[in-house]
Each structure stands twice: as structure tokens, then as C-alpha cells.
Homo-oligomer: A and B are copies of this chain.
Amino acid sequence: MAQKPSIPKGTRDFTPVEMAKRNFIFDTIRNVFRLYGFQPIETPAMENLSTLLGKYGEEGDKLLFRILNSGDFLSGIPSELDGTTDSAGLSGYISEKGLRYDLTVPFARFVVQHRNEITFPFKRYQIQPVWRADRPQKGRYREFYQCDVDVIGSDSLLNEAELVKIIDDVFRRLNIRTVVKINNRKVLAGISEIIGQTDRLTDITVAIDKMEKIGLEKVSEELLVKGISDEAIGRLKPILLLGGSTAVKLDKLTNILSDSEAGLKGVAELRTLFSYIESFGLSEMAELDLTLARGLNYYTGAIFEVKAIDMSIGSICGGGRYDDLTGIFGMPGVSGVGISFGAERIYDVLDHLGLFPSESLESPRALFVNFGTKEEAYILPILTTLRKKGINVEIYPEADKMKKQFNYANRKNIPYVVLAGEAEISANMLTVKDMASGDQKMVSVEELTKVLSVD
């Protein structure tokens, strides 16, 4: 019996039109990654739950999609759990694998597992889907792609600088105007230190991270609730509000943090990074933002976040330096730095601003109308010639009504339609019609090749 087909909530099909747009984004990002010497890896969709659990906090563990063990999965349940209603407790016995939740943990696992095969500093990129059992809502999906790029095994700040350059390169190619906000977790640690709250760094960063969303006053309230003293908050506020150019801010910070070794190290790192950025001619798009904190605990140095200037949508790229990502898998002390591009949000920005190119690599350049066997025999070798030159072309597969064939070209957004009837065949020519302008002319195969070639 026929079912009405559907897909799981929070997941999506992508039609050719959407795929062309998505591939425009992925191809752009991938090409830039390659230009800077990064190479791809892929990891399995499924990881052992022992790899995933405990890496994303309690909330993250709940959002993992778990795979039911194959075969007789009930046989693994110990008898004392008979009749249990504790789903969470039981799931460990009937499920050993989960779907990838992000690309960072699998990457750390990969580096440790393949440490003898890979070359350090290891520059890798990874573009793959991840899955989260989040409540689906506008712009949030249960299956979505991440585009990560990382250098692991090098402390040099040139890596940070090149990542900023990559950000600039990607968004320039996508025509999205952006600002890169930059901060350093050592500076945040220094600030916690000089306001006398060294051991409260996490609470402070988690609160500061909400600055843009809820404002300084609400952040102060949250800090107060968390037991940070009025006095400490009073000393924190002016630092977060520091004004002036990057150079001026860095000078002020040097004074403020003069008693914090970590803080001064962070300032020195920022100076080096911003001097690279200046030499790249990117001072305009990069900005020191002391309120940038990024919630994730594993960051230890520079942190980045990218905003689109012409659309308010949250960050479209972000990342930072981490000093011990692989420690959880038994390989401590390896420093790395990386960023992740938010393909879904970038899609929304391009869509909203009308920045997707009208044509794509995925579209045929021309449809050849099919008039029947004789005309087919004339056309087929011409198709071969064009395809050998790398031009995407197709022939309508049957001699349907002209109108139907033109409709097909229109709906598929094919820019040219080519016709070859008796007149064309006897003249060894073709008629090519520009679907946008409606212009048509008779041309030779050579001339047609020129018309259809993409610059």
C-alpha cells in the first residue's frame, strides 16, 4: 500500500537548485583551504559512544543520536535491569555507537589514532555533516554540515594570522562584508586574575559571552548571582568597555594587566597577531573585542568570531587556539588552532542579500531540442565534441512537443537552447537561442563552442 513519504523532522532534502547554492559555498571554502596548504580528512558518521560521551557536557550527551546495537540487542542487558524504566541507564547496554556530534572530537580522536601516519604540524580541513537531537526550529537542524580547518602541532601565531587571512579570502569570494572579532583567553584569564577572581574564569567567560545578546547590565547581574563580588564587577566593567583603536586598547591593557603574567602574555600574542594582520592589509576587517569570550572551555589563546556586516544573524565563523584537545585521548600537550565556517548561516546570508551567482557549475549550459531520429544522429556527435571541451550539455531524450522541451530548459534554468532542423543540418549549422534575451542566431559548431564556453 502506498505510504505518504516524509523525512525525519529537522532533516532536509536538497534539490538541484539548493545543491548548486550549497556547493557554491562548500567549493569556495574548500578551494581557499587548499590554497593555504590544508588537506582533507574524513571520519565515520558513527563513533563509539566512549569517544563521544562526556565531551559535550551533560546536555550534549542527551543530544547524541545513538545507534541501536545490531541483532539481538536485548541479550546484553544485565538481569537487574529487567523491567527498568530508566531509558538513560538502559541505553548504555543496547547502544554502543552514536552519530558524530561535531568535527572537533572526531578530529582529536583521529590525530591520536593516526599520530604515526600524519605529518606535524598537521593542517587539515574537514567538511562533513553532524547530527544533534536538538529541538528543530528555524535555522536549526538535526543534520547539518560543519566546515572545519585546523593546524595542530604548532604554537606559531602565524597560524592564527593565516586563519584570519582565510576568513577574509572566503568571505571576499562570497561577496559577504564581514568583521572578524578577536580576543585572547589569556587576556580574559589576566582580567579574572587582576579583579581577584582567578578561579572563576569559567563563570566570567560564560557570562561575558552573553554580552552582545543581553548587554553589560544583565551580564553584571549574572555575575553577581554567581557570587562574583560587586567590587570585582566594578573593576571588570571599565575593562570590558575599553575604547580606542586596537593599538590604544593594547597599550591600556598592558597597564591594566601589568601584574598578571598570563594577561601580559595574551597581550603580547595579540600584538603579534595584529601586526601580521596589518602586514596582510586586513586591519580594516579585524577588531580587538574584549567582550568576546566564546563559551567553549577548551580555548586557551586567540579566539575569533566573524559577523556579517549587512545582516544580523549571529556569528558565521568562529574558533580559536586550544592547548590540549588531544589530551582526553591520551596525547597531552599538543597545541592547535582552528576555525569553523557555519555553512547554514552563510547560506542564509547569501540568500537574504541575493548574492548567489545566477549560474552554477551544476547547470547544463545548453539543451539541444530533440526533433527525432535523423536530427539526433546529427546532434549526438556535436554533443560529444562539446563535452570533450568540458561544456555541460544535454539533449532532450525524446522528440516531445517543442513547448515541453523549452519548458524543460526554462525550469532547469538552462541559459541556451540549441535547435537543428532540416535547414541547419543541410547548412551544417545550428540555431542557438539565448533564453534570457530571446535572441537567436545560426552558428557553426566552432561558434557554438564559443557561445557556450564559460569564461
Which A residues have a C-beta under 8 Å from some C-beta of B? 2-8, 11-16, 19-20, 23, 34-37, 39-48, 50-51, 62-63, 65-68, 70-75, 82-87, 90-91, 94-97, 99, 109-110, 112-114, 117-119, 121, 123-124, 129, 131, 133, 142-143, 151, 154-156, 158-159, 162, 165, 169, 276, 279-280, 327-330, 361-364, 367, 370, 376-377, 380, 384, 387, 390-398, 408, 411-412
Contact = CB atoms under 8 A, between A and B. Distances in A.
Contacts of A68: 65-68, 91, 94-95
A291 B334 CA distance: 59
A122 to B, nearest CB: 9
A65 B67 contact: yes
Given A67-B67, A394-B37, A47 B8 contact: yes
B158 A39 contact: no
A390 B398 CA distance: 42
B2 A330 contact: yes
B19 A42 contact: yes
Contact of A4 (B45, B330, B411): B330
B19 A39 contact: yes
Contacts of A40: 14, 16, 19-20, 23, 362
Quickly give the copy total for this chain.
Answer: 2
16 contacts: A4-B329, A8-B48, A13-B41, A13-B43, A13-B114, A16-B118, A19-B39, A20-B39, A20-B40, A37-B392, A40-B362, A44-B143, A65-B67, A68-B94, A74-B87, A158-B376
A276 B169 CA distance: 48
Given A3-B51, A7-B47, A16 B124 contact: yes
B7 A48 contact: yes
A395 to B, nearest CB: 7
* Residue among A48, A119, A329 with max Cβ neighbours from chain B (10 Å): A119
B387 A3 contact: no
B67 A87 contact: no
Given A13-B114, A43-B13, A48-B6, A74 B85 contact: yes
A280 B362 contact: no
A360 to B, nearest CB: 9
Given A45-B129, A123-B394, A71 B87 contact: yes
Contacts of A86: 74
A397 B159 contact: yes
